[in-house]
Amino acid sequence: MKKIFIIIIFFSLCFISPSQADDIKDFQIGGMSLGDSLLKHFDKSEIKNNSHFLEQAKGNKEFKKYGKNISGIYDKISVTFKASDQNFTSKSIQGIKWFKDDINSCLKIRDEIIKELSNLFINQPKKDFEKRVHTDDKDSYSYDYYVIFGSGNLNYVDHVLISCYDWSKKLEYQDHLRVAIVSKEYMQWLNKLAN
């Protein structure tokens, strides 16, 4: 059953052929690619009612995030867009699957997705950070794997991220798998916040 789940997750993420696998916009999560308008997938009032400014932005209101709990392959999908953009053009897309206190199952699926992506994106650089302490909590860990589109510092390029988050029991967060498509524009903004 787990093997079927892994295959379903992967094919829901990406509907491209290897000959097309050089452009990040060919990669999809929930049928959405970077640069797509949320209006192609959701009602405008639903987007407005379910969007918020990012907590870590500390008052910077350049970007908003639309989030929706869903059923199926992912438990949640979220899309980031510029707050001033009335077309709600996606700058990052994330699919999240919860793994309550089950990081090993998350890592197994992560490894299967990485294997498939490595074969699909042959020409793209990749970076596996494996297990590292989470920046917000010394007792929590992330397992980040990147497929990189562009050259330069990872913090300033388009990329696909496959990650598992292993949260400390003292926090109220759930372990989860996160698959994300992230634009360099959004990354640059996030990095400005950190400085």
Mean pLDDT of 75-100: 95
Number of domains in the chain: 1
Return mean pLDDT, the chain.
Answer: 85
pTM for the model stands at 0.84
| Domain range for 69 | 2-194
Per-residue burial over 36-75, b if 16 or more Cβ lie within 10 Å, else e, is bbbeebbeeeebeeebeebeeeeeeeebbbbeeeeeebbb
Residue by residue, DSSP assigns 41-97 as TS-HHHHHHTEEE-GGGTT--SEEEEEEE-SSS-SEEEEEEETT-TT-B-SEEEEEE
The percentage of the chain sitting over the pLDDT mark of 70, rounded to a whole number, equals 89
Mean pLDDT of 186-190: 90
